[in-house]
Chain A
């Protein structure tokens, strides 16, 4: 079974620029999550999709972050404009359903200069 795929693996941008991350979940997984992991901390949920609908986006900074999951499969997370504090690893995870074990990708490491 192929795991959760994420790209790019690394991204370096200057503050105020925009950036996008892509995630392809495990085939058949209805639930998709985006987490932010700041160095030395545990992952923090940004947004959760069930198929192509948003279940939880309470911790997503909506003035600069957006995410979509078209057709209930792949997802993109966008930051525009980026701030220095957005430097982190952005992890995508997927699960069969809402309360099923979550499987993580290896993340995108974002550095803001």
Chain B
């Protein structure tokens, strides 16, 4: 019930292409869904986040799509660049609780020049 399932585990995309990472959850009490980007040797950095009152949020080349009925959300990276090569984690939390984040397993993205 507390899990967040992320796919794919790894992804290779050509420069300029679209990278898509998907996450699914079971706990309907989750109401905050952030995405984190992590480079080797660094801590995760907040990329973009969404709450379930909207179906899509866009910030620059990064877009979150949210499907409340399917309990799924995804990250789209448009015009992917080699500098986007990193590990991406989705997460979920319940704002009415402690704000504890439950993370997905991560997706390693490689963008080829």
Chain A residues within CB distance 8 Å of chain B: 4, 31, 40-45, 48, 55-56, 91, 93, 95, 97-107
Interchain Cβ contacts under 8 Å between A and B, 13 examples:
A42-B104, A43-B44, A45-B100, A56-B100, A91-B43, A97-B99, A99-B32, A100-B99, A101-B49, A102-B101, A104-B44, A104-B45, A107-B43
| Chain A residue contacts of B95, Cβ below 8 A | 99
| Chain A residue contacts of B36, Cβ below 8 A | 104
Total contacts A to B, CB within 8 angstroms? 52
Asked if residues B101 and A95 are in contact (CB atoms below 8 Å), the reply is no
B29 contacts the other chain (CB 8 A): no
B50 contacts the other chain (CB 8 A): no
Q: Contact residue range for chain B?
A: 20 to 34
User: In this complex, which of B6, B43, B98, B101 has the most chain A Cβ atoms within 10 angstroms of its Cβ?
Assistant: B43
Asked if residues B99 and A95 are in contact (CB atoms below 8 Å), the reply is yes
B22 contacts the other chain (CB 8 A): no
Known: A99-B95, A101-B34. Is A45-B46 also a contact (CB below 8 A)?
no
Q: Binary interface profile of B, 28-51, with partner A (CB < 8 Å = 1, else 0)?
A: 000010101000011111100100
Known: A48-B98, A48-B100, A99-B93. Is A42-B43 also a contact (CB below 8 A)?
no
A55: nearest chain-B partner, CB-CB: B98
Asked if residues A105 and B43 are in contact (CB atoms below 8 Å), the reply is yes
User: In this complex, which of A31, A100, A106 has the most chain B Cβ atoms within 10 angstroms of its Cβ?
Assistant: A106
